[in-house]
Structure 1
Amino acid sequence: MPPSDIKYTKVRWLLTIAGLFLYVGDIWTDIQLAVKYFQKSDFVWSGLTLVFVLVGLLVTQIFSYTWFMDDMTDVLINADGKPTILGLSKGRLVVLHLFGLGIFTRYYQLLKRGFKVIWKSTHSYTVDERSDEHHNLFCMATDLSMLKMFETFLESVPQLLLQLYIVLGHGDCSVLQYLSMAFSFVNIAWALVDYRRCLRRSLPHIKEMPSGLPTLIYLLYKLCTITSHILSYTLLLILSPYSAVALTVLWLLGTTWTHALQTNFCSSGWLELLYRAVIGVILTFTFFNVKGQDTKVAMIIYYLFYTFVNITAPLLLAFLKPELQTATFFLAVSGLIFGGSMVGLVFLVLYYLLLHPRENLRVADEVDGLGKETQATRRIQNFLQPG
């Protein structure tokens, strides 16, 4: 049996199915909402809702296809030089990704291979072979979880911000809006935890994040900080739609900082620029370790600015729009921002002081297989490190 830290379990396989249904549900509710806005002649809301869906789909298809091509040309993954990867030719991959089915293709391949290894395997594996099979499953799951992370911050997070702005700022409420926001919120939570756990399991030199309390504390830290930040941005947009310019500036700052760090995640220059732009979006809403370096100072600066925004947004709305000071929604949202910020920061400190798994100091070598670096393992090593 493989070591427990790289064992792809039946529960993990079933959770992959749950993640697929959640992904479909999130996109379906957003498309339905865009159609409803269009029928009501709210063309701006309809267009923005649909744009977020399309941007998330487009970017994930680009990265998914590129990673398939990288793996196809990798001499270790494809030693025989076959014109296929996972049984898919280049032409078939192009068609699948043009129709937006890249993530669904990866879900299918992961579930299919996982089913053979976990549920149906009658092959007598050696310990090393079985470990390799489970590790490969986690590499596939990590690729998928990274794409889901991109989709979450390009679609679910902006969608949640947009729908909150429409509901709170324009009083336009419907069951479908609340359903869309609920799916977006759960999708954010799922993507954060799934990405962190998959990434740490696919990197042999990094310890697994324990389930239970550490995972719960990390999830609460991320959810509280991201939610309070989204609510702060919502209040700023209610104060003035031109606050979107300020959000654009924050995105540019995040993108510029990522560029200054000289990330080397992608195999081509133009794709690296796209990657840095996506990271800029992510940094607009939450902190991640962009290059796997010591980021204690950067994290402190980031969350000082985060606290400043979360304090300033409600105060600006109270001073510049005093008629809202007694509004129920303003009091409730302000309470959620202040409370969520405080609780989120407490969980952040608690997690990193007491629960954060420390890295193993094991050095990679050819004997234990860590030195056999493929495109997939190089890619995973350069993924965003959770922060």
Structure 2
Amino acid sequence: MEEGFPFNLTFSDVFFSLLSLIFFLVDVVLDLWAIQCLYEEQKYFSMGLLIFLLLSSSVLLQIFSWLWYSKSSITLETKVERFISRHGLLAPVHICQLGVFLRFAAVMEISICRFKQSDRFQKVVTIYMNHDLSMLRLFEAFSESAPQIVLMMVLIIEMQEMQSFTVIKIIGSLSALSFTVLSYHRSMRAFVPEKLKMRWSSSIIYFLWNLFLIGPRVVCVSLFASVLPCYITAHFLSLWMLLVLWAWWQKTDFMDTKAGEWLYRATVGLIWYFTWFNVTSGNKKLKGIIYHMVMGVDTMLLLGLWWWRRSVESACLSPLPINPYLLIVMLMIIYIIGLALKLVYYWKFHPSKTVLEMNVKDEKSQMKSESDPESYDILGATLSNTPGPKPAAQPEPEGTVLAPTEKIVTGIHKRIRNMAVNFYS
């Protein structure tokens, strides 16, 4: 394992990991409760759809977790992971849909060791594990939680009176969704040097603009699905395929295999259906503007079709607890506020790549004396798109092993490098 990175790990980061585990367990319990309630209400189609969402999302996470374990260039550093691997249980654990729980257990173990021993090595390992876990939770949020919210909102709209389990499930799913996006944000902030500590105001703004942009999108999709349920699948598949092709056109480079990369692109397309997620370096502003323009038009189209359908067949549809015109105005205002908060965040709180590179150089020069001179500085490679000046190559004797900096970056090194470049570019 490499040392000498200017990573910043605080107690709040470990607290967020623990809180994320609690949210995950609560969400599992609410999932089971929702299935039971749908069964008792004899809503078998909705129950089957919910089970399909849960299983497909779980299988997706297990595939990513297994690929990362099998392809990662990092040796397993925790006792629980070494025990599972030594007894050949990695595959059975993932087949039984327990891979995410294994990663949670590993993060908790290494976090406790980190604070007991206060070792830089433990600190770096914790950052690695938190990064992968935050990515998996992000995938789960938009492959399970967001579609579940749509399903539950459709059920509420169709019901004459609100049921307790649907309201609680929606609140729980929204909390888990918003908190997961914030957790990913904080995991990326581990790349920020100690000098640029993250303030809670930054987290609050980031949480709010995601909530105000994702919320109207989910509500509009739910409204459309409530009046035109036969067309929502066609709408999702057509838009999702275009988004996957856009991810391919951007030449994403996240996984170590072509099949894994296409799976990642498919997952990115699913995330893009609900919110923006930067996957490549380059002109992030232009891509963000294109995305928000396209999704804004699509959202207004869904909202317009819903309003038209209700105006044509208002007698056949369940009455809404709120005036449709007021609802449309509220959604538009919330979305505009979300865009404004996003601009404020990137204007005031998001660290610029230039500032980070300057601080990284200072941190690297300070830490060189403490670390192995031949250790691989992943952060330096991460925050710089172009390598620094290199000495002229000298002929090496036959059989000489390449230095770590000359190796092809794969596994978690590649994932961390690429995600940091994308996040701060």
TM-score class normalised by the smaller sequence: 0.7 to 0.9
Q: 2:206 aligns with which of 198, 215, 218?
A: 218
- Higher deviation after alignment, 99-108 or 322-331: 322-331
Structure 2 unmatched runs, 5+: 379-403
Matched residue, 1:376: 412
Matched residue, 2:321: 328
On the 8 A contact 2:210/2:338 being kept in 1, the answer is yes
Q: Does 1:234 align with 2:228?
A: no
Shift of 1:7: 3.9
On the 8 A contact 1:160/1:181 being kept in 2, the answer is yes
On the 8 A contact 2:216/2:335 being kept in 1, the answer is yes
Deviation string, structure 1 residues 39-87 (Cα, Å, up to 9, x no partner)? 322111001111111111111111111111123xx2xx3499xxx9544
Distance 1:183 1:79 in 2: 33
Q: Does 1:17 align with 2:5?
A: no
Percent identical across equivalent pairs? 22
SS at match of 2:89: helix
Deviation string, structure 1 residues 308-337 (Cα, Å, up to 9, x no partner)? 234343333333322389843335542441
Structure 1 unmatched runs, 5+: none
Aligned residues: 370
Deviation string, structure 1 residues 146-189 (Cα, Å, up to 9, x no partner)? 00001111000110111111111444631111111111101111
1:150 maps to a residue whose letter is: F
> Are the structure 2 counterparts of residues 358 and 55 from structure 1 closer, same or farther at C-alpha, using a change threshold of 3 Å?
same
> Are the structure 2 counterparts of residues 318 and 325 from structure 1 closer, same or farther at C-alpha, using a change threshold of 3 Å?
farther
On the 8 A contact 2:217/2:299 being kept in 1, the answer is yes
On the 8 A contact 1:207/1:358 being kept in 2, the answer is no
Distance 2:318 2:6 in 1: 52
Shift of 1:28: 1.7
Greater relative contact order (Cα < 8 A, sep 6+)? 2
Matched residue, 1:343: 337
On the 8 A contact 2:240/2:273 being kept in 1, the answer is yes
> Are the structure 2 counterparts of residues 275 and 206 from structure 1 closer, same or farther at C-alpha, using a change threshold of 3 Å?
farther
Deviation string, structure 1 residues 234-289 (Cα, Å, up to 9, x no partner)? 12212311133112211111111112222222222222221111111001111111
Distance 2:43 2:319 in 1: 29
Distance 1:233 1:299 in 2: 21
Q: Does 1:182 align with 2:171?
A: yes
Deviation string, structure 1 residues 107-137 (Cα, Å, up to 9, x no partner)? 111111111120x32xxx7xxxx33321221
Shift of 1:92: 1.0
SS at match of 1:321: helix
SS at match of 2:273: helix
Shift of 1:290: 1.1
Matched residue, 1:317: 306
Q: 2:234 aligns with which of 245, 250, 259?
A: 245
- Higher deviation after alignment, 85-94 or 241-250: 85-94
Matched residue, 1:101: 98
CA RMSD, Structure 1 to Structure 2 (Å): 3.0
Shift of 1:30: 1.7
> Are the structure 2 counterparts of residues 177 and 5 from structure 1 closer, same or farther at C-alpha, using a change threshold of 3 Å?
farther
1:192 maps to a residue whose letter is: V
- Higher deviation after alignment, 7-16 or 157-166: 7-16
2:111 maps to a residue whose letter is: G
On the 8 A contact 2:8/2:193 being kept in 1, the answer is no
Q: How does 1:282-301 map to 2 (within 5 A)?
A: 282-301=271-290
Shift of 1:204: 6.5
Distance 1:5 1:166 in 2: 49
> Are the structure 2 counterparts of residues 383 and 3 from structure 1 closer, same or farther at C-alpha, using a change threshold of 3 Å?
closer
> Are the structure 2 counterparts of residues 172 and 343 from structure 1 closer, same or farther at C-alpha, using a change threshold of 3 Å?
same
On the 8 A contact 1:250/1:284 being kept in 2, the answer is yes
Shift of 1:375: 2.4
> Are the structure 2 counterparts of residues 272 and 350 from structure 1 closer, same or farther at C-alpha, using a change threshold of 3 Å?
same
Shift of 1:192: 0.6
Q: 1:149 aligns with which of 138, 159, 166?
A: 138
2:84 maps to a residue whose letter is: L
Alignment TM-score, normalising by the size of structure 2: 0.79
Shift of 1:386: 4.8
2:178 maps to a residue whose letter is: A
SS at match of 2:162: coil
2:377 maps to a residue whose letter is: L
Shift of 1:379: 1.7
Distance 2:169 2:176 in 1: 10
Shift of 1:31: 2.2
On the 8 A contact 1:200/1:208 being kept in 2, the answer is no
> Are the structure 2 counterparts of residues 172 and 259 from structure 1 closer, same or farther at C-alpha, using a change threshold of 3 Å?
farther
On the 8 A contact 2:5/2:377 being kept in 1, the answer is no
Structure whose alpha-carbon radius of gyration is higher: 2
